[in-house]
Structure 1
Amino acid sequence: MKIAVVGAGVIGATVAARLAQRGAQVVLLDQDQPGSGTTSTSYAWVNSNGKEPPAYYRINRAGLEAHTRLSPKDDSGWLGLGGHVEMAVDEHHRANLEARIARLRSWNYAVRELTGDEAKSLLPDLALPEGVQLIAHYAEEGYVYPAKYLAQMIGEARDAGVTVRTGVAVTSLKASERGAEIGLADGTVITVDKVVSAVGRWTKKFAALAGANVPVREFSEPGDIVVGYLAITNPLPVRLSRLITSPWLNVRPAGGGRLMLQALDLDATADPGNVPGPCSELAQTFLSRLRALLANTGGAKIENIVVGQRVMPDDGRTIAGTAPEAPWLYVIATHSGVTLAPYLGDAVTAELFGEKQDALEEFRIERFLLANTYGQPYTPRKPGEQ
């Protein structure tokens, strides 16, 4: 079986590696370089926290467990553990957090409430926000260094015989006697049995080449749901080995002593075509919030700000399945790409080898043809909402 996987981010590279390891002849294509899309601008928090409905929770939990199982425990590992500490100050966030804790406990998820002293023991440089009402610790959550994970998957793919072609765009996609014919911008034509779309935010346009309608949102205006800022600091002498979610700032290690910062309320101005610089007013806002939250950050500087572009199906949930209009085209699109990558690598490979995965049944494209899917589309997140 010959398969083309289009999109060399964390999901596409994992699927390509797993397919080849099972004996498929695989070509991995990307219009740019591996990981240059959403993979390169992700907060990369791996979790199943606040993921609904239950089927979505379960596959995210499977992804989290796969990362924990697969990541090497030495310096080559891509997973940072230590858990995630979330703090609620206002009533809305407290109620949201209480409900989430109760639901997650009923599903045997590792979460417990912390006292202020317990939070300080986990985060010794933390300045507890004034008026904090509830603190939760999710012990098994973590964060991924996407480039390290991608290096592992691309390496496994090459070792298994995958042909990797980058810097060339797909310009046509149509059915053939064998299955599918792919036209590339350099004039090359590739004939395969199946095509896997793992192109992230370009999914809608890519699927349209095959005459398929896959409802994935595209950027329309500053601050919409698909965009968000991430800021990276200079190396700092801060004791931090886990994620922090606070009302004003989310923080995680970014490697080499650097910190990655996220503030959901600031995303209201996020625009991929107009990214503020490291000396901007936005950068100063990030720094003031960081200095109020963590000690030893007086010398903090913002080295870089990026606008991440989330992969967001219309109802916010993962898409995994064959396009109804093109049975040779298997489409993957998900907001939880980093968390789900190792799980989807195995699950999608199994399906392409004819082994239907019941866990993916709620995530087929056909659900968008029904009047009653998951409900209303997502709206932009507020502080305290995941």
Structure 2
Amino acid sequence: MKIAVVGAGVIGATVAARLAQRGAQVTLLDQASAGSGTTSTSYAWVNSNGKEPPAYYQLNLAGLEAHTRMSPTDESGWLGLGGHIEFAVDDHHRDNLAARISRLKAWNYGVEEITPDQAKTLLPDIELPEGVQLIAHYTREGYAYPAKYLAHMLGEARDAGAVIRTGTTVSGFNADDDKVEVQLADGTSLPVQKVVSAVGRWTRPFAALAGASVPVREFAEPGDIVVGYLAVTNPVPVRLSRLITSPWLNVRPAGGGRLMLQALDLDITADPRNVPGPDSELAQIFLERLRSLLANTEDAKIQEILVGQRVMPEDGRTIVGPAPEAPWLYVVATHSGVTLAPYLGEAIAAEIFGEKQEAFEEFRIERFLTDSTYGQPYAPRKPGEQ
């Protein structure tokens, strides 16, 4: 079977590797460089925390377990599994956090309520504020280094015989019952039987080339649901091996002693067309919040601010499966791309080879024709909002 996988991010590379390992003749295409889309601007929190409905929780849990199983334990590994600590200081966040702890305990997720002293043991440099009402420790969660994961999967794809072509734009399709001509912008074409769309935030216009409608949101205005800031510091002498979610700042290791910072309330001004610099007022706000949260950060500097662009289906849930208007086009688009990549790659390859995946049934494109149960997603502005 000849298959074109379009989009060489974490999901597309994994799908390409798994299809090639099953014997397919795979060409992996990307309009730019591998990983240059959402993969390059992700907080990369690997989790199934707060994911609803239950089918979406199970999907993300499968991704977390796949990462844990697959990541090498030596320096080539891409996963940090120190866990995740979240604390609440107001009533609303406390109530939300308590409800999540209760629900996740019932599902044996790996979560416990801990004391401030226990938090200090796990986070030696934390500056817990007065009035902390509740602290959760999610013992199984972690963070990924997407570039390392991508390198691993591209290597597996190449080793299995996949051809990787970057800087290659798909301009259209000619399709009949048993074959598809993928038309390329350079005037050439690629004959295949199947096309897998893993193009992330470009899913809507890409699917339209095949005459298909796939409702994935696109950036419209500053602060909308698909955009968010990430700030990366210089190397700082902080003892941190896990993620922190606080009311004013989320922090994770970024490699080489650097930290990656996220503050959901600041995303209200995020605009990929106008990214603040490392000396901006926004950078100073990030630094002030960091210094109030972690000791030994007085000499921290912001080296880079990024505006990440999330892949967001209209109802917030993953899309996976053939396009009804073009069954030869298999579409995957998800907000949880880093968490889900190792699981989805395996399961999508299996389904394309005829092994129907029951876990995908709530996530087919057809739901948008009949199901309005889940409403519209929105952008949370502080931890504890759901």
> Is the structural similarity TM-score above 0.5?
yes
Aligned equivalents of 1:374, 1:313: Cα separation in 2: 14
1:274 aligns with 2:274: yes
Q: Which SS does the other structure have where 1:156 is aligned?
A: helix
The residue that corresponds to 2:72 in the other structure is 72
Q: Matched residues in 2 for 1:272 and 1:179: separation?
A: 38
Cα offset for 1:178?
3.1
Q: Counterparts of 2:337 and 2:377 in 1: how far apart (Å)?
A: 17
Q: 1:32 Cα deviation (Å)?
A: 0.3
Match of 2:130 in 1: 130
Deviates more, 1:97-106 or 1:172-181: 172-181
1:308 aligns to what? 308
Which residue identity is paired with 2:380? R
In the TM superposition, 1:1-386 aligns within 5 A as: 1-370=1-370, 372-384=371-383, 385=385
Q: Is the 8 A contact 2:38 2:310 kept in 1?
A: yes
Which whole-Å CA distance do the structure 1 matches of 2:251 and 2:180 have between them?
A: 44
How far the C-alpha of 1:122 sits from its partner, in A, is 0.2
What is the letter of the counterpart of residue 285 of structure 1?
Answer: I
Letter in 2 for 1:381: P
Tell whether the 8 Å contact from 2:267 to 2:381 is kept in structure 1 after alignment. no
Distance 1:374 1:48 in 2: 21
Q: Hey, what's the Cα distance between the residues in 2 that align with 1:179 and 1:350? A: 20
State the secondary structure of the residue aligned to 2:219: coil
Report the Cα offset of residue 373 of structure 1: 3.4
For the residues of structure 2 that align with 1:174 and 1:216, how far apart are their CA atoms? Answer: 23
Question: C-alpha distance in 2, partners of 1:353/1:247?
Answer: 46
SS in structure 2 of the partner of residue 291 of structure 1: helix
Residue pair 1:222, 1:269 contacting (<8 A) in 2 also = yes
C-alpha separation in 1, matches of 2:239 and 2:230: 20
Identity of aligned residues (%): 76
Question: In the aligned structure 1, how far is the partner of 2:160 from the partner of 2:79?
Answer: 23
- Structure 2 Cα separation of the partners of residues 173 and 133 of structure 1: 57
Report if the CA contact (8 A) 1:320-1:365 is conserved: yes
Unaligned runs of 5+ in 1: none
RMSD (Å) for aligned C-alpha atoms = 0.8
Amino acid at match of 2:3: I
Q: Separation in 1 of the partners of 2:184 and 2:256?
A: 39
Q: CA deviation at 1:177?
A: 4.7
TM-score by length of 1: 0.99
TM-superposition CA deviations, 1:277-311 (whole Å, max 9, x none): 00000000000000000000000000000000000
AA paired with 1:286?
F
Post-superposition CA distance 1:25-75 (Å, at most 9, x none): 000000000000000000000000000000000010000000001000011
Between the aligned partners of 1:352 and 1:374, the Cα distance in structure 2 is 28
Q: Which runs of 4+ in 1 moved over 3 A?
A: none
Cα distance per residue 1:91-127 (max 9 Å; x no partner): 1111110111111111110000010000000000000
Between the aligned partners of 2:162 and 2:88, the Cα distance in structure 1 is 47
Does the CA contact (< 8 Å) of 1:101 and 1:112 recur in 2? yes
Whether the 8 Å contact between 1:229 and 1:305 is mirrored in structure 2 is yes
Match of 1:121, SS state, is helix
* Count of matched residue pairs: 385
| Inter-partner Cα distance in structure 2 for 1:185 and 1:361 | 35
